Every structure is written in C-alpha cells, then in structure tokens.
Amino acid sequence: MAASKTLLFIQKTAVRGGAINRLFDTLSTLQKATDYRLHIVCSEQGEFTERCAELGFPVTLHALPEWRKLRERLRFHGAIKSLCKSLPFTEADWVISNEMWWAPHAAAIAKKLKAKSAAILRDGIADAHKGRKYRLQDNDLILPSSLKIAQGMQSDSVLAKRTQVFHDAVFLPELKPDSAASLQHQLNLKSSEVQRWLVVIGRLSSRKRQVDSVLVLQGLIQRGYTDFGLILAGDCDPDYESKMDEVLHNTGLKNRVVRLGNFTDIRALFAMNPICLLTSLREALPGSVMESLLAGKPCFMYPCEGAEDIFGPHQNLFVSGDFKPELLVDKIDFLLQDPTLLASQVVALQQRAESMFSFEAHLRGLQQTLGLEI
C-alpha cells in the first residue's frame, strides 16, 4: 500500500458524460490500490457529485470561472484564492484537470498548494494552438488520451516536452436483470423482422452524428442483411432531435430503430450480441468502443481520435478510411461474409483491450505517468 498522498481532481460540470465516467474509473483504481487522499472540485451539484458521495469521494463545490470568457477571467485569480482557502488541506501532490478547459485552474491551484499540475485532453479539438490558449504550458504534464491528440502537441516544442499519452481504464458494470428485461420488452415492440442489432452508445448529438448509424443500417439492409435493427442508447440533444426524426422518416426505418434515451446498463446491451458502432466526428479515446471490445463484441468506427490506440494492427478491418456511412457498411459486410475471421479478430481485440485498458494497465499508467508509489 502506497504512502499517503493528496490528489486533487477538477471536474467543472456535474452532468453525465464519457469524461466523467473515465474520471470515476481513475478514482476507483486509486481508491482500490492506494491510501491516497482523493478530492474533487466541482462548480455545481448534480449526478456527478451525487455519485461521488455514494462512492466516498469528497467534493468541494466552488465557482470555476471560464478561462475563455474575458469577463470571467477577470474573476479568475480571486476565485482560485477563495477556492484554495475552502479546501480541507493546504498542500497537495498533484492537481489534475479532467479536461483541457480547466488546465489554467489546475496550474493556478497547484501553485498555491505547492503541487504539480496536469491536464487530461479528452477532445479531438485539442491542438497546440488551443493548448496555448488554455495555458497548457503552465502545467507540469499534458496528458492526451490518444496518440492522435498527442501528435497535435508536437508542433510546439514546449508543449511537446510536457506531453505523455495517458490511456483511460474501462470497467464493465454488472448486468442488471431488471433493465435487461425492460430492454427486451422495448425490442419486442419493434418489427418482427429484426433478429440482429447494431448498437450505438452515447449522447445523440451533432458531434457524434448518430444519423449516420441509421444510414449504415439502411446500407446493410440494401445489401441483403434484412434482419438488422438499430439501438440508440443515450439522451438526445434538443437541437439534434429533428435531425434524427428526419433521417428516420426519409429512410423509412423508424420501425427498426429503438431510441432508449439514457440507458446505462451496457451489459444488457452487450447481451444482445450486437455489432457496435461509433460514428463520431471527434473523440479522445472513445469509451463505448473500449467497452464493446472488452465485452467481446465487434465494433466499427469512423477514423476519429483513439482508433490507432484501440485497434492497433486491426485498424484496417474495423475503422473506415473516411467519415462516410457506406465505408462502415463495407467493413461490416466484409467481415460478416467471413465469420471465422470476424470471430478471431474480436478475440484478438478483446485481449488487446484487456492488456491496455484494464485495472492493472491503468494502475501501471498512473504509476509511470505521475510517478506515484503503488
């Protein structure tokens, strides 16, 4: 068991999302393997802070002015000073921002707590130009979640020296019998022609472009795979609702698409033996893809950030060359015609995911990156 240290994490918002899920995986890893003092700063109450309370992670609620807004930036230093006074400790070992947007906060808090600071980059929009805007250079470490994001830092020598790829962990939850039964009931209400399912996990939004998954379904049906349907597991952004309605109307596939809303029991989804999809325009290290592969399910994705890390030498079979639905259809069609190859590839990818994103792998990553004694 490691000697006690203090690690402070910054997570500004309390709404559900992939970044928060990955933070919980890191916190859980540290909680199980160390006796470190773990503390979180958040600007609001919500699902995130409620879950922190359930799991025993103390939270300090405090305003966190947005660095990108000039008027709020004028209040920045006063807010940091006030925040540090409200913490139950006066020194720490690391202050870690869970996303790039709060990197200035991590560096400023760390200075007052005589700590080191780090910023995890979880969005494909991150590059050296934005890194400078969000003061990444003031942090001791810049931790992109994928190789592709790390490459975006290389044009700036100062940022490049501080950059280390930091892979997330993914823990699959236990299957919940009640939600599995509820899911099966909703699927039974759809067309009797559907025997196999495509699954997309994540909030429905323009960035994740789930309308393309409907077009993938349409393409597979046109190629003779007439027993497929589509499950969309995630809340829908209000401004994306009409786009989903439009594509369902235009394709005539409404009776083959199940929109579950916020359905968190991914084990129930994987129990359907689906083919999983990711149609995002940008990510960091997409959790739904890692979850799918850890569960031993095939997953096909657009060539956004994280593809190289997750798929490695298998990338050509599962990742499209461009952001076009028909290219994903080509990949799925090719492997469906060779079930033996598909099965062997899924086993290899499951083993790869277990070696790179498991509890043990994440613990090693924390030890190597942050120099923790574990």
Could you report the per-residue pLDDT of 57-84, keeping only the tens digit for each? 999 999 999 999 999 999 999 999 999 9
Distance between CA 26 and CA 257 in Å, rounded? 34
Burial class, 27, CB count within 10 angstroms (exposed 0-12 / middle 13-18 / buried 19+)? buried
Q: Per-residue confidence at 188, pLDDT binned at 50, 70, 90?
A: confident
Indicate where the chain has its CATH 3.40.50.2000 domain(s): 6-169+358-370, 177-356
Distance between CA 374 and CA 366 in Å, rounded? 9
| Better-predicted residue by pLDDT, 362 or 176 | 362
Domain covering 6-169+358-370 assigned CATH 3.40.640.10 in the classification: no
3-state secondary structure of 176: coil
Summarised one tens digit per residue, pLDDT across range 136-166 is 999 999 999 999 999 999 999 999 999 999 9
Q: Between 339-357 and 325-336, two packed helices, what is the crossing angle to 10 degrees?
A: 110
Identify the pLDDT of residue 326: 98
Identify the pLDDT of residue 1: 43
Structure tokens at 145: 């979640």
**Residues facing residue 18 across a β-bridge:** none
Identify the pLDDT of residue 312: 96
Decide if pLDDT at 3 tops 60.
Answer: no
Summarised one tens digit per residue, pLDDT across range 358-374 is 999 999 999 999 988 77
Q: Which of these, 102, 146, 88, 139, lies nearest to 118 by C-alpha position?
A: 139
- Classified by CATH at the fold level, domain 177-356 comes out as Rossmann fold (3.40.50)
Share of the chain above pLDDT 90, in %: 85
Decide if pLDDT at 193 tops 70.
Answer: yes
Quick one: average pLDDT of 245-268?
A: 93
Identify the pLDDT of residue 175: 77
Q: Annotate 169-178 with b (16+ C-beta within 10 A) or e (fewer).
A: bbeeeeeeee
Backbone φ, ψ for residue 347 (5° rounding): -60, -45
Identify the pLDDT of residue 182: 81
Q: Which of these, 148, 153, 48, 53, lies nearest to 103 by C-alpha position?
A: 153
Decide if pLDDT at 2 tops 50.
Answer: no
| Better-predicted residue by pLDDT, 303 or 174 | 303
Quick one: average pLDDT of 154-181?
A: 89
pTM of the model: 0.89
Distance between CA 15 and CA 249 in Å, rounded? 31
